[in-house]
Structure 1
Amino acid sequence: MISYAFPYFLIAIVPIVGIFLYIRKISRSALRELKRLENVSRSPWFCHLTATVQGLATIHAYNKTEETVNRFESLLDKNSVISFLFRCSMRWLGVRLDSVSIILATVTALLVVSTHGSIPPALAGLALTSVIEGLEPEAPLTVKETAPPESWPVEGRVQFQKYNMCYREGLPLVLKHVSFSTRPSEKVGIVGRTGSGKSSLGVALFRLVEAASGSISIDNVDISTIGLEDLRSKLSIIPQDPVLFVGTVRYNLDPFKQYSDDQIWSALERTHMRESISGLQHQLEAPVVENGDNFSVGERQLLCMARALLRHSKILILDEATAAIDPETDNLIQTTIREAFSDCTMLTIAHRLNTVLTCDRILVMEDGELNVH
C-alpha cells in the first residue's frame, strides 16, 4: 500500500529490510540459546532450594550449613548471570526493532509531506496508517450465536482432544497431541521439568494463543467457538507472581463492584486474610501500592485466592503459585485451597512435588507431551 502511494518508498525500503534481516540473524540464535541456558540453570537452583528446606535438620546435624549456602549461591549466580544476559539481549533487540519501526514511519511521513498536493489526501493517510498496522487481530470478545448460558460451566469438566499449540507459525509445537479429561470438581496436578509445557496448558485454556489443531471443551462446549470474554470471565488463575493493582484492597478484590462487603469479608475469612486486613487502618479501603509491594508474597497469593473465591469460578488454575514462598505459607495456602475450592475443578501446575500430593490425579508433562496420565 505504501509503495503504491509512494513509488520512491521502494528505494528506502531496501536498506531498512537489510537492517532488519541483519538484526534478526544475529539475535535469533543468541536469544534461543540464552533462553535454553536460563531454563537449564534454573532447575538445579530450585531443586537445591527444595532439598535444603526438606533436609534442614540433616544439614544442621552434620554442620553443612556453610557448604549448602555456598552451593546455593553458586547455583543462583549461574542462573542470575544467564538471566541478566537474556534480559539485556531482549532489551537490545527491542530497542533496535523500535528504531527500525521509527525509521519506517519517519520515511513514510517525509514522503507524505514532500509529495503534498501530488497524491490524494485519502491515499496519503491510508499509507501512513498502514505503517502502524500489522498486529494479528484477536478473536472477538463475544459471539452471540454461540454464547454459552450464564450458568455455564455447571460441572467444570475440562477435555483436551489431540491438542497442538505453537506460539507462532513456524515455531516448534509447545503442546503436542495432548489428550485428557477431568471429572467435575477433580483436583489435577501437573508436573514436569522447566520448559516441558506445563504453563502452556493454562495459556491454551485462556486462549492467549489459538490452537494449531485439536480442541478444548469445557462442559462439552468447544472454547474456540465462543467469545474471549465469555470464556475468560468463567476461569480464574493464580499465577506464580501474584498480581495486585494500584488502588485499594477492595478494588483488587472486586474491581467491578459486583459484591457486598459481607461477601468480601467472607472470602477473606475463608482465605485466612480477614485478620490481616481488619488490622489495617482503613481495612478494605487500605491502599495497595504498585505490584502490591506493601504486602508479602504469601499475602498477595492469599488475596488473589480471595479474588478467585469471590468470582466463584468453576475452574481454577494454579500456575506454580507456591514456588516462591516458604513452606509454612505454602501449607497455609494448601489448606485454603482444600477448604475454599473443594467444589471447583483445579489444575495445579507445580514445581514442588508435595504441592500436588493431595491431588486426585497427577499428569506428567515432558517436551510438550503428556507422558504419564
Structure 2
Amino acid sequence: MINKKLHNWQLPLKPYLYANGIHQLDGKDWVSCEQQDLTLSSWRDCAVILSREHYVEQQKCYPVSNLVHLMRVIKVETQTLSPFGGQTFWSIVGKTPSGWLVTYWSVPQDVIVGLMGKFKVVLPESLLLAESVDNGIFETVGERGLFLYKQGNHFQSAIKNNLINSSHYFCNLVNRDDLVSQSTLLSYEDYQSRLILSFKKFNLLLLPGLVIPSKKEAFDIERLKEWKKPAIVAVALLLSYAVGLSIYLHKQEEHYDQLLAGKQQEMRQLLAQERQLGEVITYIEDYQFFTDSNPGLIVLLTSLEGVEELDVQIARVDLTGNQVNISGLAPSATSLFAFLSQQPQISNLDFSSTISKDRQTGLDRFQLTFTLSEVKNG
C-alpha cells in the first residue's frame, strides 16, 4: 500500500543525465552543461540519471527473511562486488519466493568524483526503464541502442555493441531465446518520455542505496571496507520506510476524521502502529550499535550462514581477534570443511584435532580452526 502511494507521486525534479559529462533536458533533447557554469542549489536538482555505459549491473537473490540480516549482507557485498575502484550502489527491488532481490550498480571512481558535490542521488538508466515497462524484451531505436529484459522484479540490461548488436543475441545472453520474436522496439521519443516519467515518479523506497557520497567524506576505498564504519545504508532504508509509513498514517487519519469520526477504536490502532514504529527504530539502532562494536562476530556469522543445511551441531565457538576455533558434531566433518573452505572471509582452515565418532549419535566429532580475513578492530 505504501509502495503504491509513493509510486503514484510525481516529484518536481529537474532531469539531469550523466553521460560522459552532465547534461540537462532542453525540450526533448539532452544538452551538455559546462560544469564550471553549473549551479545546483535547489533540492529539485538533487537527482541525476546515470547512463548505462557508466556502470556494471548485477542482480542477486538472497534467501534471507530478516531485513536487518539482509542489510548486513548488502553491506558486505557493496565492499567486494565492484570490478574497479569506485562505489557500488544498490536497491532492494522486490521479494520472490526464493528471497529478497537486490540489484547492484558498480560505478568507477572518476564518475563518482564528477557527481559529488553536485547531486545527492544517482538513478541508473536501466532501473528507470525497468520501472516504466511491463514484462518482456525491449530495444531502443537510434544510434545508441539499449536492451532490457524484465520478468517481474528481475531485469537485465545491455548497451548495443559489436557483440550484442541485435535482440537475438541479447535474448541468448539472458537465456530467453523464446522471446526473440516478441521483442518490443521503443522509439527515441517513447523511450525519453518513459525515462523522464519514471524519473519524476521514482519509487522512494528504492532510494536508500542510491545516495552519492558527499565531498566532506574522503572518498577512500580502503575506508569503505572498514567494518567499524556505521551502517549508513541500513539507517537510510529505515528512514525511508518511516517517511512512507508516516505519509500513510497521515492519509488514514484524514480518512477516519471525515468518514469515521465516531470510531475511536481505529484511531487507537493507528497510534499503536506509530508506537510500534518507534520500537522498531529503537531495536534497529541497538542492533546497529552491536554490529558496529563486534565486526569479527558479524563476519563469523556471515561465514557460517548455511551450515544448518549440513545438519551441523556447533557446540562451542571461540573468537579471539580474527582467530576462530569451533567444535561440534556433523554427519560429515569433511563436508563441513569443504563448505567452509569456499567462504571468501575464511583462510588458514585446518582441523585442530583428529575426527572421531560420537558413540551416542554416530556423528563425526570435529574441532576446526581458521582465520577471518576481513576483520578490523578499533
TM-score by length of 2: 0.24
Normalized per residue, the structure richer in helix is 1
Give the structure, 1 or 2, with the largest relative contact order (CA under 8 Å, sep 6 or more): 1
TM-score by length of 1: 0.24
Normalized per residue, the structure richer in strand is 2
